[in-house]
Amino acid sequence: MTTTRRPTRQQSAVIDALGSTQDFTSAQDLHAQLRESGEKVGLATVYRTLSTLADSGDVDVLRTGEGEAVYRKCSTGHHHHLLCRVCGRTVEVEGPTVERWTDAVAAEHGFTDVAHTLEIVGTCSSCH
């Protein structure tokens, strides 16, 4: 029995907020974002909505190193971050290389619906 889905203002708000970025975003962040933009959505509702969307496969979920769950609207191009460990400056980078590689490796092992996270840390030129 599939859950009856009834569209609501709150759910749309969450979905829109998710769609406004291509990055993986945590439920907490989304909630803060919604509150800032004036939308009144309860934290529990944000979690519920994300969880439902994830179950139905409409969003990707994965876990950060800290164990926080992060979500992203499915199948849009995305980029990665190059982070300076000294000053915290970040640079967005992208390229088909990694995308292709992960897809290939996943397919090779019979995996489908693949998503990935990649973070690169280093020391930037000014901080060297």
Partner DNA sequence: CAGGAGATTGATAATGATTGTCAAAACATG
Partner DNA sequence: CATGTTTTGACAATCATTATCAATCTCCTG
The label of the residue with tokens 């849009």 reads 76
- For the CB of residue 76, give the shortest distance to its own copies in the complex, in Å: 16
Spatial separation of the C-alpha atoms in residues 89 and 72, rounded to whole Å: 23
How far does CA 13 lie from the centroid of its chain? 16
Query: What are the E-state strand segments in 14-68?
Result: 25-26, 59-63
Cα angle vertex 78, ends 72, 84, to 5°?
100
- For the CB of residue 96, give the shortest distance to DNA in the complex, in Å: 30
108-127: which residues touch its own copies (CB under 8 A)?
A: 109-125
Say if residues 33 and 16 touch (Cβ distance below 8 Å). no
Binding site for DNA (CB under 7 A): 3-11, 26-28, 40-45, 47-49, 51, 67-69
31-60: which residues touch its own copies (CB under 8 A)?
A: 60
Among 8-16, 24-32, 43-51, 88-96, which window interacts with its own copies (CB under 8 A)? 88-96
122 binds, among DNA, its own copies, none (CB under 5 to 8 A by kind): its own copies
- For the CB of residue 43, give the shortest distance to its own copies in the complex, in Å: 17
> Helix (H, G, I), strand (E, B), or coil: what is residue 16?
helix
